[in-house]
């Protein structure tokens, strides 16, 4: 039972802990799981999160940065004063829990529809874009010397990866072709500045409270690259959840995002951000097609995955709105 | 010739039963999955109603654009290749209109509640 294993693990590094309670799996595919639990302590229980690859699974499949790197990045972000959970423990072989780490649990909301609609976030929404601009600037400024080994990406490489994946599906999509061509013609080349890029900075990976952003999660796609990529990705229409006139996550403007970014001493490049927004829109469209492939070929034959395949057309209309807007 | 009811009528009856009778009785993650399932049935109903005329119109536009005939998949392959090679682009008469119409018709089946689609419907 995972509570027994966790209890033994926690006792080895948390003085006074007598066990754990309330362990529940929050999400998980075959290779990676997230669990919530409480550390039982005479001074009061402490909320914690386990993120792990179960025993026998690789800790860094495919493009992933790897759980060890994720732990280092979260701790660095925490140490730099960014909203990030404190890493409490990196799993050791003798813990017999696989690879991964245990971090502090931060209360708040990650579900976009609630953040965009619920009354309790009414005061947070108008300040979020600027806050996130500051936070992402802090991520891009994390001290390079302390960062773990990560893949390095460029616009050219990302475009080649996307094109290869799209072609592997063998199904023609004229709108994606148009976007690929548009991106190739405008490829800005190597970025003047290469920084840490979070890689998935958007709803779902941000814990929001009534007071604003509380934590940045899920560093799985972190890499080195053009910092403008993170600013473009959070503007992709797929993360606006119906609030299409508020480009940043459905709650704010690009200007607010850039203002926060610049307040933190960094400079946004709106043209480059727009380039990455188009790239991000295409990327999500191709990811939707990839889910359809995984549904069809079997590893996850669920109707949720099948239905995500029918969301790729959403990115086609968004690409047309960006590349071929109709007269208004 | 198959007998009635039609596939659309059958699927609608099942979706309505799940929506009205089963949804109130289901909680938790299965309630989410049930909603996805009902959405899938609704999508299939829309596709059965719209696909034939959408495909015919798309095919006619593609024949005009390409000056060639063939199955819809092959016409789309040919157009994709021309776009990739830069032989046609947004300046080509009819291309933008074709891509817009095709995409709007897809959204009418896939996600008629999607924000961008609703905006563009009122924006013709």
Provide mean pLDDT across the span B37-49. Answer: 98
Tokens of A87: 């890493």
CB contact under 8 A, A320 and B119: no
Q: What is the pLDDT of residue A60?
A: 58
Chain A contact set for B80 (CB, 8 A): 172-174, 177
Quick one: which of A208, A243, A226, A328 has its CA closest to A279?
Answer: A226
- Write the ipTM: 0.96
Q: What is the pLDDT of residue A1?
A: 78
CB contact under 8 A, A326 and B120: yes
Q: What are the tens digits of pLDDT across the range A57-84?
A: 766 566 788 899 999 999 999 999 999 9
Q: What are the tens digits of pLDDT across the range A36-60?
A: 999 999 999 999 999 998 887 766 5
Provide mean pLDDT across the span A288-314. Answer: 90
Q: Where are the domains of chain A?
A: 16-104, 112-323
User: Looking at the predicted structure, is the pLDDT value of residue A274 above 90?
Assistant: yes
Q: What is the pLDDT of residue B80?
A: 98
Residues 6+ apart with CB under 8 A from A56: A98
Residues 6+ apart with CB under 8 A from A128: A208, A212, A213, A248, A249, A251, A252
pLDDT band at A298 (very low <50, low <70, confident <90, very high): confident
Q: What is the pLDDT of residue B69?
A: 96
Cα–chain center distance at A323: 26
Residue A206 carries which DSSP code?
Answer: E
- For residue A5, give Cα distances in angstroms to A20, A45, A95: 9, 18, 7
Q: Is A251 helix (H, G, I), strand (E, B) or coil?
A: coil
Tell me the pTM: 0.94
Q: What are the tens digits of pLDDT across the range B47-98?
A: 999 999 999 999 999 999 999 999 999 999 999 999 999 999 999 999 999 9
Burial readout B42-53 (b: 16 or more C-beta within 10 A, e: otherwise)? bbbbebeeeeee
CB contact under 8 A, B116 and A244: yes
Helices (H), chain A: 2-11, 67-79, 112-117, 125-140, 155-169, 174-186, 228-233, 254-263, 270-297, 303-309, 312-323
The domain defined by A112-323 carries CATH number 3.90.1200.10: yes
Burial of B107 by CB count in 10 Å (0-12 exposed, 13-18 middle, 19+ buried)?
A: buried
CB distance A252 to A129 below 8 Å: yes
Q: What is the pLDDT of residue A30?
A: 60
Question: How many angstroms away from the CA of B17 is the closest CA of chain A?
Answer: 19
CB contact under 8 A, A313 and B103: yes
Q: What percent of chain A has pLDDT over 90?
A: 86
Q: What is the pLDDT of residue B124?
A: 57
CB distance A242 to A250 below 8 Å: yes
Provide mean pLDDT across the span A304-324. Answer: 96
Q: What are the tens digits of pLDDT across the range A110-140?
A: 999 999 999 999 999 999 999 999 999 999 9
CB distance A87 to A71 below 8 Å: yes
Q: What is the pLDDT of residue B105?
A: 98
Provide mean pLDDT across the span B9-35. Answer: 95
How many alpha carbons fall within 13 Å on the CB side of residue B107? Answer: 23
pLDDT band at A199 (very low <50, low <70, confident <90, very high): very high
Burial of A265 by CB count in 10 Å (0-12 exposed, 13-18 middle, 19+ buried)?
A: exposed
């Amino acid at each position: 039972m995972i509570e027994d294993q966790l209890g033994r693990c926690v006792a080895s590094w948390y003085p006074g802990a007598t066990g754990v309670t309330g362990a529940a799996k929050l999400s998980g595919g075959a290779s990676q799981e997230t669990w919530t639990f409480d550390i039982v302590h005479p001074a009061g229980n402490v909320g914690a999160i386990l993120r792990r690859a179960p025993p026998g699974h690789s800790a860094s499949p495919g493009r992933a940065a790897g759980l060890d790197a994720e732990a280092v990045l979260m701790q660095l972000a925490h140490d730099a004063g960014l909203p990030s959970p404190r890493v409490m423990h990196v799993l050791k072989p003798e813990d017999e829990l696989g690879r991964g780490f245990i971090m502090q649990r931060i209360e708040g909301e990650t579900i976009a529809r609630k953040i965009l609609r619920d009354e309790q976030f009414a005061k947070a929404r108008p300040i979020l874009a600027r806050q996130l601009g500051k936070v992402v600037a802090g991520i891009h400024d994390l001290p390079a010397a302390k960062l773990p080994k990560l893949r390095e990406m460029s616009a050219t490489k990302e475009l080649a990866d996307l094109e290869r994946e799209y072609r592997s599906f063998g199904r023609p999509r004229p709108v994606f072709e148009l976007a690929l061509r548009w991106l190739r013609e405008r490829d800005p080349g190597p970025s003047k500045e290469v920084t840490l890029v979070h890689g998935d900075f958007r709803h779902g990976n941000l814990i929001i409270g009534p007071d604003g952003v509380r934590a940045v999660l899920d560093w799985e796609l972190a890499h080195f690259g053009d910092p403008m990529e993170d600013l473009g990705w959070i503007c992709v229409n797929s993360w606006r959840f119906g609030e299409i006139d508020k480009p940043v996550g459905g709650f704010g403007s690009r200007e607010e995002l850039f203002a926060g970014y610049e307040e933190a001493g960094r400079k946004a490049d709106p043209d480059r951000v727009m380039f990455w927004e188009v790239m991000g829109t295409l990327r999500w469209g191709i990811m939707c097609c990839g889910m359809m492939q995984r549904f069809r070929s079997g590893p996850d034959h669920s109707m949720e995955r099948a239905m995500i395949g029918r969301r790729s057309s959403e990115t086609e209309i968004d690409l047309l709105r960006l590349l071929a807007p109709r007269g208004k | 010739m198959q007998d009635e009811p039609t596939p659309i009528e059958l699927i609608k009856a099942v979706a309505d039963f799940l929506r009205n009778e089963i949804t109130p009785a289901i909680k938790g993650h299965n309630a989410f999955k049930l909603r996805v399932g009902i959405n899938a049935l609704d999508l299939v109903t829309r596709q059965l109603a719209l696909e034939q005329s959408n495909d015919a119109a798309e095919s006619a536009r593609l024949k005009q654009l390409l000056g060639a005939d063939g199955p819809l998949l092959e016409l789309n392959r040919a157009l994709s290749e021309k776009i990739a090679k830069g032989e046609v682009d947004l300046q080509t008469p009819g291309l933008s209109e074709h891509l817009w119409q095709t995409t709007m018709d897809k959204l009418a089946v896939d996600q008629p509640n999607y924000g961008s689609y609703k905006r563009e419907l009122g924006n013709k």
